[in-house]
Structure 1
Amino acid sequence: MSSHIFNIGSRVFSCFTSSASSSLRQGFPVLSTVPARAASKKSGGAIRNKIGRTKPKYRGLKATDGAFVHKGDVLATQFELKYYPGENVSIDASNTLRAAYDGVVVYSTEVLNPYPDSPLYEHVQNGSFLQRRFLNIIPTPLHGKFRLVSET
């Protein structure tokens, strides 16, 4: 009895030949169906560069100049401070500008007056004027919707 190892595709088979089986099969080796060794799972490659696969963030202005917005509506989404919050506009941790009251959106360009702890404070104290874009909300005037009904 002799053994041989055959490669068929990516699988390795062992075969055993004997004098009885060779006489029955006319000299052809008998292949066993048990593979000698196979991979337990496919190896997956690591994705290191995700260029072209990131989802767009759709940042920018969401409300146009002169548009009516409600309280809590998003006015602008931004990565850094491209647009500054003006009157009746709130800002959150991700620099998203939201309307603090119902009203009309007004864009304006104003001279920046930073706080003393700001890194821009030194530039302003040296005499430079920093102009930035501000988003403001002009609130709608409140009308008396209730009237006093006399008790009779």
Structure 2
Amino acid sequence: MAASIARVSSSLLSNFSPGLGGLISVRFAKPVRNKRKRTKGKHRKIYEHEGTFVHAGQVLAKQLGLRFYPGENVKLGRDNTLYAITDGKVLISAESLSPYPDSPLYGPVQNGLVIKKKFIHVLCPPLLGKFRLVSQI
């Protein structure tokens, strides 16, 4: 009786993995789906909104590609991050794009296509009466 059970169990195992004598191959194992690493967020967003006062060197926006273009007193970083060059208030505007002649957008704009893009500016506060001549003191 034990011999017949052993023959039946060995024949069943040999049907699943022939040639391995009852061992299941590792090659057909399923991947574990819940062990994948989750990438962290890149924190791409507008950091300073319109009307806020910023200091020089402060990050205005992080972006992938040119979603926002640099305007007055704004510098474009290596990874398309926008930085304030001077102290002032942030202004966000939609303006028509005027590309350089080596840009792929130059031809369509010259043919009459109007392309509107968002620009981020930093407007410096006006200096009123802060400086006097030495003869006026």
TM superposition score normalised by structure 2: 0.67
RMSD: 2.3
Match for 2:121: what amino acid?
N
> Alignment partner for residue 114 of structure 2, among 129, 135, 140?
129
Task: Map 1:28-67 to 2 at 5 A.
Answer: 53-67=38-52
Question: Take 1:124 and 1:88, find their aligned partners in 2: how far apart are those partners?
Answer: 25
Displaced runs of 4 or more, over 3 A: 145-150
Which stretch of structure 1 is more off in the superposition, 87-96 or 135-144? Answer: 135-144
Q: How many aligned residue pairs are there?
A: 102
Secondary structure of 1:75's aligned partner: strand
Q: Which residue of 1 aligns with 2:87?
A: 102
From the CA coordinates, give the structure whose radius of gyration is larger.
1
Matched, 1:92 2:103: no
Shift of 1:142: 3.1
Match for 1:107: what amino acid?
I
Secondary structure of 1:122's aligned partner: helix
Match for 2:64: what amino acid?
F
Question: Take 2:57 and 2:123, find their aligned partners in 1: how far apart are those partners?
Answer: 14
Question: Take 1:131 and 1:88, find their aligned partners in 2: how far apart are those partners?
Answer: 20
Structure with the higher fraction of residues in strand conformation? 1
Question: Take 1:59 and 1:137, find their aligned partners in 2: how far apart are those partners?
Answer: 20
Secondary structure of 1:134's aligned partner: strand
Question: Take 2:51 and 2:36, find their aligned partners in 1: how far apart are those partners?
Answer: 38
Structure 1 stretches of 5 or more lacking a match?
Answer: 1-46
Question: Take 2:47 and 2:70, find their aligned partners in 1: how far apart are those partners?
Answer: 14
Higher relative contact order (CA 8 A, sep 6+): 2
Match for 1:73: what amino acid?
Q
Secondary structure of 1:60's aligned partner: coil
Secondary structure of 1:123's aligned partner: helix
Match for 1:88: what amino acid?
N
Matched, 1:117 2:102: yes
Question: Take 1:51 and 1:135, find their aligned partners in 2: how far apart are those partners?
Answer: 38
Structure with the higher fraction of residues in helix conformation? 2
Question: Take 1:101 and 1:118, find their aligned partners in 2: how far apart are those partners?
Answer: 28
Question: Take 2:95 and 2:69, find their aligned partners in 1: how far apart are those partners?
Answer: 10
